[in-house]
Structure 1
Amino acid sequence: MLKDLESLIPPTIMAVAFVAVVITILRSQNPRRREAARRRERAAEEADPRIHKS
């Protein structure tokens, strides 16, 4: 019984990791989140004194 459990642990870990990666990718592709990230980046660039606009 214990040997069977030990043989199932690595595939279970890989399955959980795969699902986590897929969820991360789907979240990063969310258009609202991407637009919010663009707005934050634009605001940070405008507030940064090192960036001089010509």
Structure 2
Amino acid sequence: MLEIKTAFGTFGNFTDLARYMLEEGITQVTVDAYYIFSKVAKITFSLDELRGRLRAGELA
């Protein structure tokens, strides 16, 4: 199970995170990604970069 933690909340997928950022006017976020309770990555995304990676199918 993927869990995406940010300063703004916890999300189950990157699509929900991008939607939240767009609705709240957030332009950049740092993500701590966990898979089955183990931290696997810490990444900073801009909203444009996140949306581009979602369109390209790089993130689910």
Q: Tell me whether the two structures share a fold, i.e. TM-score over 0.5.
A: no
User: Quick one: higher RCO (CA 8 Å, sep 6+), 1 or 2?
Assistant: 2
Alignment TM class, shorter chain as reference: under 0.3
Larger radius of gyration: 1
Q: Of Structure 1 and Structure 2, which has the larger fraction of its residues in helix? A: 1
